[in-house]
Amino acid sequence: MRDDIDYIPTNRFVLWGHHFTAVAGAAPIIGPGIAVIWGWLPAFIWVIVGTMFFAGVHDFGAVWASVRSKAKSVGFLAGDVVTPRARTLFMVVVFVLLMMVNAVFGVAISDAFQATPSSVIPAWTAVFVAVVIGILIYRMHVPLLWPTVVGTVILYAVIYLGEAVPLSLTAGMFGLPVGAQWILILFLYAGIASLLPVWLLLQPRDYINGIQLFVGLGLLYGAVLIANPTIVAPAINANLPAAAPPMFPLLFVTIACGAISGFHGLVGSGTTSKQLDKETDARFVGYLGSSGEGALALVAIIAATAGFASRDEWAEMYTNFGDGGMVAFVTGGASIVAAGVGISNQFAATLLTVMAVLFAGTTMDAGVRLQRYIVQEWGSIYGIPVLQNGYVATGVAVAACLLLAFGAGGASGEGGMLIWPLFGTTNQLLAGLTLMIISVMLVKLGRPAKYTLIPMIFITVMALAAALYQLLSLYREGGLLYPLLWIDVAIVIIAIFVMLEAGSAFMREKRAFEARANA
Amino acid sequence: MARTPGRFARFQALLEEFYVAPYRGAVARARRDEDDLFMLFVYSELMGVPNPASYYTLELQPILLERFHDWHTRMGLEHSPLDHFRCC
């Protein structure tokens, strides 16, 4: 199938690096940063067990399933293996998931810029550095190593400038609160970034992101080993805030990436499978990719539980469900890095904020671009020519995300983190659907399907339970007209429908295999 | 020491591959689209679109014939879309 455009075999170490950096966003930071409100032990166990028996199986399985089906994406496989209707509904879930990812990351970055104004200049400098690297590599054919070294040095050096000149927007500009202004700027950027030639911004930015990821992980784990911080958070939090939801089932949707995430299946079957050198590389790339994600989630747990001076200081961070997140990661992580590496707390906080913002930003760029493709595809399928225009499709994608960000959080965009559990639910339902598709393919081949069925049943039950719990809390929050409520309802109905169709396909294939075996 | 330049060269190659691999397809598709556009300019007179540089582009037509065939196949057209011009 090699065509040197989409299908080109790639070295498995390079492909692993690419897969890992593509799936590693801000989710393995934000999710654990929120979930430790229940105590560090449940989050720790879920990340470890989830990475080994859920995420690893899911990611590896998605890549395998795609490779076995001429590198088709999971959405297409849903149409082949289940029914064509399942594929359409699957794509709706994917679009809604991307909408949520973009909205919640936009809010998270906005919150990060407000909490750490010294991160604004370094974070936007990364865009400038990316463009310069893109021009040097693509247009001027400069060898990669020196632009990489110089660009990385500039990125870290600019943190000093960021500290000297912290930038904050003025409340009331255009009649908007600061949070809303940042969200609009970020989506304007994401829309423009998704339309520019990939070599100019997305490609070098993804590359810088990858470098940051490895440097950041090395720095954090190195600092943890040197500083040897003490965990001050309780193992199980007996003093939960009054409005905090129950750990079961919300833990399993609050920590998605880092334990299991349907988003990874999209990446694995969308691009990774097309570049696999041989089928046996699927385990190396898929399983180890999820392991890297688990490592990032684990260090986020450490930062959010061991980076505070005392239990009281930790409890001040976690006064309500939804608190913590990226801010806890930055605050706690900064004190650990400062103690371990010997840099100032402020510098470390800016460094970690820039790192987290870059992760979230590149996911937003890619997410808006993917949404544009889906809108254009719908324009093609349903004969709506205007939707096939790149600018219109991008506008539709960005508008949908803004509607969600402001619809959930109000005019200020604050409280947009309310989307997070719903994002986790949708993500986990998508993971369950992917595992179901893999199970159908396995049973068709007469292979044991229990290794995918057991995680599928667990995560689907937890995600549906979480979705039903959220239905009640969203209704109490905003009544019948609350947009998130209806998104939740739609996701639950679609997920149940596709699961029933997939279950029926599973039984059908099982009976067919048994009939062939007995013939 | 003699192995160091070899390892360094391998590291550079891996770094280049790490940079290029994720967007290789997107870049190649963008290049292919640009080349397709140039090819369509070369054959524009056959489609009724005036080409002021036709005297010069005429000699490129035999060279780009394969590309024209590849293009209409990719567009889902079994045969050339031009009734008076056949490539297959």
**pLDDT tens digit sequence for A250-275:** 999 999 888 888 888 888 887 788 88
| Minimal Cβ distance to B29: which of A5, A13, A206 | A5
Torsion of CA B40, B43, B49, B53, to 10 degrees: 100
3-state secondary structure A275-322: HECCCCHHHHHHHHHHHHHHHHHHHHHHHHHHCCCCHHHHHHHCCCCC
Across A17-21, A317-321, A331-335, A463-467, least confident range = A17-21
Q: How far apart are CA A302 and CA A219, in angstroms?
A: 13
Q: Is B24 helix (H, G, I), strand (E, B) or coil?
A: helix
Q: Does B13 fall in a domain?
A: no
**A55-69 pLDDT, tens per residue?**
999 999 999 999 888
pLDDT class of B51 with cuts at 50, 70, 90: confident
* pLDDT value at residue A410: 65
Q: How far apart are CA B9 and CA B5, in angstroms?
A: 6
Domains of chain A by residue range: 12-236+251-518
* pLDDT value at residue A414: 60
Residue partners of B77: CB distance under 8 A and separation at least 6 = none
**A367-388 pLDDT, tens per residue?**
888 888 888 888 887 888 888 8
Residue A354 has pLDDT above 60, yes or no: yes
Residue partners of A135: CB distance under 8 A and separation at least 6 = A200
* pLDDT value at residue A412: 64
pLDDT class of A453 with cuts at 50, 70, 90: very high
Catalogue the E-assigned strands of A124-191.
Answer: none
Residue partners of A427: CB distance under 8 A and separation at least 6 = A97, A253, A256, A257, A261, A262, A263
| Residue A145 near residue B12 (C-beta atoms within 8 A) | yes
CA distance A309 to chain B (A): 40
Q: Is A272 helix (H, G, I), strand (E, B) or coil?
A: helix
* pLDDT value at residue A415: 55
Residue A183 has pLDDT above 70, yes or no: yes
Q: If you measure CA to CA, which chain B residue comes closest to A369?
A: B26
Best probe of the A interface among B10, B14, B16, B24, by most A CBs < 10 A, is B24
User: Which residues of chain B does A271 touch, with a Cβ-Cβ cutoff of 8 Å?
Assistant: 22, 25
Q: Does A210 touch chain B (CB under 8 A)?
A: yes
Q: Does B76 fall in a domain?
A: yes
In angstroms and rounded to an integer, the radius of gyration of the C-alpha atoms of chain A is 22
* pLDDT value at residue A277: 87
CB-CB under 8 Å, A203 with B29 = no
Residue A306 has pLDDT above 80, yes or no: yes
* pLDDT value at residue A179: 87
Q: What is the average pLDDT across A356-366?
A: 86
User: Which residues of chain B does A18 touch, with a Cβ-Cβ cutoff of 8 Å?
Assistant: 18, 21-22
**A233-252 pLDDT, tens per residue?**
999 999 888 888 899 899 99
Q: For residue A44, how many other CB atoms are within 10 A of its CB? A: 20
Q: Which of A151, A255, A247 is nearest to A208 (CA)?
A: A151
| Minimal Cβ distance to B25: which of A5, A11, A144 | A5
Residue A130 has pLDDT above 90, yes or no: yes
* Predicted structure pTM score: 0.87
User: Which residues of chain A does B23 touch, with a Cβ-Cβ cutoff of 8 Å?
Assistant: 198-199, 202-203, 206
3-state secondary structure A351-369: HHHHHHHHHHHHHHHHHHH
pLDDT class of A318 with cuts at 50, 70, 90: very high
Determine the CATH number of domain A12-236+251-518. Answer: 1.20.1730
Residue A326 has pLDDT above 70, yes or no: yes
CB-CB under 8 Å, B19 with A10 = no
| Residue A178 near residue A171 (C-beta atoms within 8 A) | yes
CA distance A322 to chain B (A): 34
Q: If you measure CA to CA, which chain A residue comes closest to B8?
A: A145
> Over chain A, what is the mean pLDDT?
88
**A484-505 pLDDT, tens per residue?**
788 888 888 888 888 888 888 8
CB-CB under 8 Å, B32 with A11 = no
| Minimal Cβ distance to B21: which of A4, A143, A275 | A275
* pLDDT value at residue A255: 93
Q: Does A137 touch chain B (CB under 8 A)?
A: yes
| Minimal Cβ distance to A5: which of B17, B22, B32 | B32
User: Which residues of chain A does B29 touch, with a Cβ-Cβ cutoff of 8 Å?
Assistant: 5-6
**Alpha carbon separation from A29 to A149, A298, A338 (Å, rounded):** 26, 9, 19
CA distance B55 to chain A (A): 31
| Residue A180 near residue A113 (C-beta atoms within 8 A) | no
Question: What percent helix, strand, coil does chain A show, rounded to 5?
Answer: 80, 0, 20
pLDDT class of A103 with cuts at 50, 70, 90: confident
Residue A54 has pLDDT above 80, yes or no: yes
CA A37, A39, A44, A46 torsion-angle sign: negative
Range(s) of the domain holding residue B27: 23-88
Q: If you measure CA to CA, which chain A residue comes closest to B12?
A: A145
